[in-house]
Chains A and B, each alone.
Chain A
Amino acid sequence: MHEFSYEAPTTVDQAVKLLASDGDSARVICGGTDLLIQMRNAVRKPRLLVDVKGIPEMREISFDAKAGLKLGAAVPCIEIHESQVMHRYYPGLTEAAHLIGSLQIQSRASIGGNLCNSSPAADTSPALLAVGAIAKIVGPAGTREVPVEKFFTGPGTNVLQKGELVVQILIPPPAPHTADRYIRMIPRNEMDIAIVGAGACVTLDGDKVAAARIGLGAVAPTPILAPKAAEYLIGKKLDEKTAERAGELARESASPIDDMRGTAEYRRHVVGVLTKRALLGAAERARQN
């Protein structure tokens, strides 16, 4: 690995200053589970690493029935899994975080890192898309809020500018009878990168769908929403048949490729299957809310 400096600020301000101080060559390190591998492979060569794990507001998980969730970007996935609040209000996002890597990885890997690494296959991204999450970004020019669907710009790239970092992820409070679910397809049962991931969040009004959002991973250059599939469901009863149809519509949103992890043909097929399953799973949970 190349040489670099390392700083561990304790406030967002300090972090922003440090990040802005070294041109394009400063980077946030959180869990390091993506970044250190990229540095070892000389894919990234930052001269300065800014460790954000010691910044209190980036480690917080707080929920307010009106304001919704503030989820610190540096919260490691294992803490998401251990949070009662997360399980209660965002079970789908929680299960997505708990799918990342192994327990060793989850002890380090952060939700913000998963987002900012911006892999098309990142597991929490479809789940964040489904719940309508917003990235709270702080930089030299101040604070801005970017919805996750506007965050990604390509494989491994996003809207963050020089000196900016994601401080928190904000998620609106779930409406009554709302729940989310995330499912992925991997050939093994753990320790694998999604061939396809699907997150769904469903709000029910009686037995009809009042609102729905579907996020997909690993089937396009970035994680994407599947708006057609979601719209189709509005006002309908969510059952095998409608979920199946929504799955077919989700396939139309996907533009998968062949790679070492799977073929485009297979991915397109599985998008439908997982969308259906995620929707049925979310609805099942929503009924109990």
Chain B
Amino acid sequence: MDTPQTHQFKVIGTRPVRHDGLDKVIGRAKYGADYSFPGMLYGKVLRSPYAHARIKSINTEKALRLPGVKAVVTHADFAPQTTAPVYRMGGEAAVNPLYLASNILAKDKVLYAGHGVAAVAATSPHIAEEALALIEVEYEPLPLVLDLLEAMKPGAAIINPDLRRKDKPDEQTNIAGEFQFKRGDIEAGFKAADIIVEREFRTEMVHQGYIEPPNALGIFPGDGHATVYTSTQGPFDVRIMSATLLGLPEGNVKVVPAEIGGGFGAKLTVHIEPVALLLSKHAGGRPVKMVMTRTEMMRGATGPTSGSILRVKMGATKEGRIVAAKAWFAYEAGAFPGSPVWLGCFTGLSPYDIENFLVDGYDVLVNKPKTSSYRAPGATNAAFAVECVVDELANRCGMDPLDFRIRNASREGTQSVMGPKFPRIGYIEVCEAIKNSQHYRTPLAQVPGKYRGRGVATGFWINGGMQSSAIVNVHADGTASLVTGSVDIGGSRASTAMVVAEVLGLRAEDVRPAVADTDSIGYTDGTGGSRVAFATGLAAYQAAHDVVRQLKERAAKVWEISPEDVAWVDGKAISKKNGAPPLTLKELAPRLTRTGGPVTGRANVYATGVGPAFAACLVDVEIDPETAKVQVLRCTVAQDAGKAIHPSYVEGQMQGGTVQGLGWALNEEYVYDEKGTLRNASFLDYRMPTCLDLPMIEPVIVEVANPGHPLGVRGVGEVSIVPPPAAVANAVSMAVGSRITDLPISPPRLFKVLAARRG
């Protein structure tokens, strides 16, 4: 049978140079901040120094009088908003427009230090900044709550007065959402266990750390039509959200996606796009460019992901079978509801086939910035806890940690935590890939004066499908162009073009991919959820087949036979009737004019058939016993890609996600003072890994075809971030002989563990 695994592809699986690469290595590619227009103004946002305060008054007069200042806006300038949800992402994600508007510019309370209060447009960024200092805001400070557990207690300072406890509807609360997943008989499950491990874990807020600051260039003249240039992952998300906040019909907003300098989920929502448009409107339609500062984006509302408290109890038989699991997850939502705790709840246990489980999740408000998505949102926190406990169980059973996982592995037909049965998945295969790796088979050598340890962990991510559109145009010279609405954040132009090239029998470089604005392509969900290669790839595949259908008709005309008698094989039209030599696209293209005119293939998909993703990470660490500093010595990551269209970019996703996970494990964290000010709001003190902190990251691509995709593709963008924090914690725990429960495992924290152990 011809499967994606056995088929001899010509283009898929090769490593061509990406089409947009040249522009990016010569400095010509245009990112959002690179756009300029005549008469352009620069916008800046004034941000609250208080973590929780009532805004008593805002006086903008002095600022408006500063020469060069053209507009000042506040929340009141948005169209009035309600809490009635607006849907995006194919209806899967609901946005509360009142919360959205109030997060971008505070309504009557500021809820975290860094919360936007007012915005200014002026003729230079420096003048805009000076104007911010002239805006007079009178605040009435309110009690604040920063700690997750404190926030959950009755009597805590209340952030949103409208939220009520589920069990006591007249009591206010900071718990914005509760989630539960359960199956089987949890008590009986634990009774059957020979070994039970129960632990509490803690993680801090971490930032996505994309290098490019959020930016937006808004043009909103008085004609009711607005245009925004922005580096976004979701142009159509920006369109609906900006339109809503401005009170415009969705179609009146055009979003032009610029090149984007990383997002990792955080740029799926709007941060300043509506503000740039609002300022433009108030400045007589002049273009307004806004670029956030690094401090602004860390303190402000671009959204880190949640800090969390994670309690996990699991029981196994002596033989190494997990019989019961209980988890309690509380995630910081930040100042507005919406942490990814529910995603944590149903991903954490998913690698395992467990009969009895109970998972409780809490979405908790604290006076910190509203969280936003970060690569496999919610999954890493949960997996950190679960994978540490699983490691301990394996140890206590005297089993190899990978064998233990394989014994309990989810596989095709296992009922997942969410309910549906898994289709064909590659969990066992990724575990085996690590087991068979050179790295795993090489024992870790100890050296005098250091502690060394090795750890493994695995991770699961659901991946996304949803909606995509694609257009393929055939050119007279026999090349083609591919137009999609998917912003290219890491090589997706190349991979989608390769799909088209494969179908049409072209070389990858003969298909020019373009990313279109929201007026020029059909609705396409954002570049997130690992969905582009899968869903936009599917749209490209179908659009290419639409071209093939038409080419067969044209060939039929040339050969004067019926289209049914033409086949398309290996990129060629073949006549099933007379012995005419086959026609390639190159040969057919010049004849299009005379056989009916241009050929354009189109496809619009709502992609189901999503293939879940699994990854496993193996890491060796070395610890300086005196300074408690952890160095990563070696790291291997295995991941099921389904089918790797462009293996280099698949590896890149695996390596990049792994390193983000290593950063999360080792040093990254938001550090707040008691007033709720983020102390380390710079790259210098936030401490993401530099290349000097890392070894090469060894990728092992596993290909277990996704039955839901014609080429077997699964999403590859996210799952690699999930295992590393647990893998590092397991490695460090082994090295120092104590269970690590808190992230990050920074030197001061690990020092405490070591000191406690020494007594």
The answer on direct contact between A and B (beta carbons under 8 Å) is yes
Query: How far, in Å, is A188 (CB) from chain B's closest CB?
Result: 5
Q: Which residue of B lies closest to A187 (CB)?
A: B667
| Minimum C-beta distance from B304 to chain A (A) | 15
The reply to whether A191 and B627 form a contact with Cβ atoms under 8 Å apart is no
A198 to chain B, nearest CB (A): 12
CA distance A57 to B287 in the complex (A): 49
A189 in contact with B692 given A259-B679, A260-B671, A269-B751 (CB within 8 Å): yes
The CA of A41 and the CA of B684, in the complex, are separated in Å by 15
Q: Which residues on the B side are within 8 Å of A12 (C-beta)?
A: none
Contact mask for chain B residues 672-695; partner A; CB cutoff 8 A; 1 contact, 0 none: 000000011000110101101100
Would you call B747 an interface residue if the criterion is a C-beta within 8 Å of the partner chain's C-beta atoms? yes
One of B684, B748, B752 near A191 (C-beta < 8 A): B684
Interface contact A273-B626, CB-CB below 8 Å: yes
Name the one of A189, A260, A265 contacting B679, with C-beta atoms under 8 angstroms: A260
Residue of B nearest to A1 (CB): B126
What residues of chain B lie closer than 8 Å to A273, measured between beta carbons? 626-627
Neighbouring A residues of B133 by C-beta, 8 Å: 42
A-B contact pairs, 22 of them (CB 8 A): A1-B129, A2-B126, A185-B627, A185-B629, A188-B667, A188-B687, A188-B689, A188-B690, A188-B693, A189-B631, A189-B693, A192-B684, A192-B687, A260-B671, A260-B679, A260-B680, A260-B685, A262-B748, A266-B748, A266-B752, A270-B627, A273-B626
Q: How far is the CA of A189 from the CA of B627 in the complex (A)?
A: 13
Which residue among B687, B752, B755 has the maximum number of chain A CB atoms within 10 Å of its CB?
A: B687
B671→A195 contact, CB < 8 A: no
Is A233's CB within 8 Å of the partner chain B? no
Task: Name the residue on B nearest A269 (C-beta).
Answer: B751
Min CB gap A273→B, angstroms = 4
Q: Is B130 an interface residue (CB 8 A)?
A: yes
B724 nearest CB across to chain A (Å): 16
Tell me if B687 and A187 are in contact (CB < 8 A): yes
Interface band, chain A:
20 to 34
C-alpha spacing A195/B295, complex, angstroms: 21
Within 8 A of B (CB), among A1-41: 1-3, 41
Residue of A nearest to B754 (CB): A269
Nearest to B688 among chain A residues (CB) is A188
Chain B CB within 8 A of A193 CB: yes
**Interface presence of B746 (CB below 8 A):** yes
| Interface residue B349 (Cβ < 8 Å from any Cβ of A) | no
* A247 nearest CB neighbor, chain B only: B626
Report which residue of A1, A2, A185, A188 has the largest number of chain B beta carbons within 10 angstroms of its beta carbon: A188
- Interface positions, chain A 240-275, Cβ under 8 Å from B, are 259-263, 265-266, 269-270, 273
Report Cα–Cα, A189/B666, bound state, in Å.
Answer: 12
Closest to A261 in B: B685
A269 CA to B671 CA, complexed, in Å:
22
For B747, the chain A residues whose CB sits under 8 A away are 185, 187, 195, 262, 266
B627 pairs with A193, CB closer than 8 A: no
Q: Which of A1, A42, A187, A269 contacts B746 (CB 8 A)?
A: A187
CA separation between A270 and B751, bound complex, in Å? 10
Q: How far is the CA of A41 from the CA of B293 in the complex (A)?
A: 11
Is A239 close to B, CB under 8 A?
no
- Smallest Cβ distance from A184 to chain B, in angstroms? 10
Bound complex: CA A261 to CA B746 (Å): 10
- With A1-B126, A1-B129, A185-B629 known as contacts, the answer to whether A191 contacts B690 (CB < 8 A) is yes
Looking across the interface, which residue of chain A has its beta carbon closest to that of B666?
A187
A178-206 at interface with B (beta carbon < 8 Å):
185, 187-193, 195
On A, residues with C-beta under 8 Å from B are 1-3, 41-42, 185, 187-193, 195, 259-263, 265-266, 269-270, 273
The minimal Cβ–Cβ distance linking A256 to chain B, given in whole angstroms, is: 11
Question: For the complex, what is the distance from the CA of A270 to the CA of B752, rounded to whole Å?
Answer: 12
On chain B, the residues within 8 Å of A2 by CB distance are 126, 130
Q: Is A193's CB under 8 angstroms from B667's CB? A: no
**Which residues of the partner chain B approach A259 to less than 8 Å between Cβ atoms?**
679
Question: B130 contacts which chain A residues (CB < 8 A)?
Answer: 2
14 further contact pairs, Cβ within 8 A, besides A185-B629, A187-B746 = A3-B126, A42-B133, A187-B666, A187-B747, A188-B690, A188-B692, A189-B693, A191-B684, A193-B684, A260-B680, A263-B748, A266-B628, A266-B748, A269-B755
Contacts between chains A and B (CB distance < 8 A), count: 59
Which residues B329-369 have CB closer than 8 A to chain A? none
B687 x A190 contact (CB < 8 A): no
Q: How far is the CB of A37 from chain B (nearest CB, A)?
A: 9
**Chain B 262-306: CB-based contact to A (< 8 A → 1; otherwise 0):** 000000000000000000000000000000000100000000000
Q: How far is A102 from B693 in the complex, measured between Cα atoms in Å?
A: 14
Query: Whole-angstrom distance between the alpha carbons of A262 and B685 in the complex?
Result: 11
Question: Smallest Cβ distance from B693 to chain A, in angstroms?
Answer: 5
What is the CB-to-nearest-CB distance from B319 to chain A, in angstroms, rounded to a whole number?
42
**Most chain A CB within a 10 A radius of its CB, from B666, B751, B755:** B751
| A114 CB to nearest B CB, Å | 15
Query: Contacts of B631 on A, CB cut-off 8 Å?
Result: 189
B20 CB to closest chain A CB (Å) equals: 27
The residue on B at minimum CB distance from A102 is B690
Contact with A along B626-643 (1 / 0, CB 8 A): 111101000000000000
Q: State in angstroms the CA–CA spacing of A188 and B694 once bound together.
A: 10
Residue of A nearest to B125 (CB): A1
A191 CB contacts on chain B under 8 angstroms: 684, 690
The smallest beta-carbon distance between A48 and chain B, in angstroms, is 17
Min CB distance A279 to B, Å, is 14
Shortest distance from the beta carbon of B574 to any chain A beta carbon, whole Å: 59
Q: Which residues of chain B have C-beta atoms less than 8 A from A270's C-beta?
A: 626-627
- In B708-759, the 8 Å CB interface with A consists of 746-748, 751-752, 755
Per the bound structure, the CA–CA distance linking A195 and B680 in Å amounts to 14
Residues of the B chain whose Cβ atoms lie less than 8 Å from the Cβ of A189: 631, 690, 692-693
Q: Is the CB of B690 within 8 A of A193?
A: no
- A195–B679 Cα gap in the complex (Å)? 15
CA distance in complex: A8, B685 (Å) = 32
Residue interface bits B207-238, CB-to-A below 8 A is 1, else 0:
00000000000000000000000000000000
Q: Least Cβ distance of B327 to chain A in Å?
A: 30
For the complex formed, measure the closest distance between the CB of B521 and the CB atoms of chain A, giving whole angstroms: 39
Which 5 A/B pairs are nearest by Cβ-Cβ distance?
A260-B679, A266-B748, A260-B671, A189-B692, A273-B626
Q: Which residues of A contact B692 (CB under 8 A)?
A: 188-190
**Once the chains are docked, how many angstroms separate the CA of A270 from the CA of B747?**
10
Please indicate the chain B residues that have their CB under 8 angstroms from the CB of A262 in the complex: 747-748
Q: How far, in whole Å, are A38 and B752 apart by their CA atoms in the complex?
A: 34
Which residue of chain A is the closest to B679 with respect to CB atoms? Answer: A260
What is the CB-to-nearest-CB distance from B469 to chain A, in angstroms, rounded to a whole number?
A: 43
Determine the chain A residues whose CB is within 8 A of the CB of B679 once the complex forms: 259-260
- For A269, the chain B residues whose CB sits under 8 A away are 751, 755
- The complex places the Cα of A2 from the Cα of B756 at a distance, in Å, of 50
In the complex, A87→B173 CA distance in Å?
63
> A192 to B129, alpha carbons, bound, how many Å?
28
Residues of A with C-beta under 8 A to B126: 1-3
Q: How far is the CA of A165 from the CA of B297 in the complex (A)?
A: 37
Report A-chain residues with C-beta under 8 Å of the C-beta of B751.
265-266, 269
List chain A residues, Cβ under 8 A from B752.
265-266
Please give me the residue from chain B that is nearest to A273 by CB atom.
B626
Q: How far is the CA of A4 from the CA of B130 in the complex (A)?
A: 13
Assembly CA distance A1 to B690 (angstroms): 29
In the complex formed, the residue of A with least CB distance to B751 is: A266
Query: Please, how many angstroms separate the alpha-carbon atoms of A41 and B681 in the complex?
Result: 12
Q: Cβ of A195: which chain B residues have Cβ within 8 Å of it?
A: 747-748
A266 CB contacts on chain B under 8 angstroms = 628, 747-748, 751-752
**Contact partners of A263 in chain B: CB under 8 A:** 748
Residues of A within 8 A of B667 (CB): 187-188
- Give Cα distance in the complex from A262 to B750, angstroms: 12
Cα–Cα distance between A265 and B130 once the two chains are bound (Å)? 41
C-alpha spacing A260/B672, complex, angstroms? 8
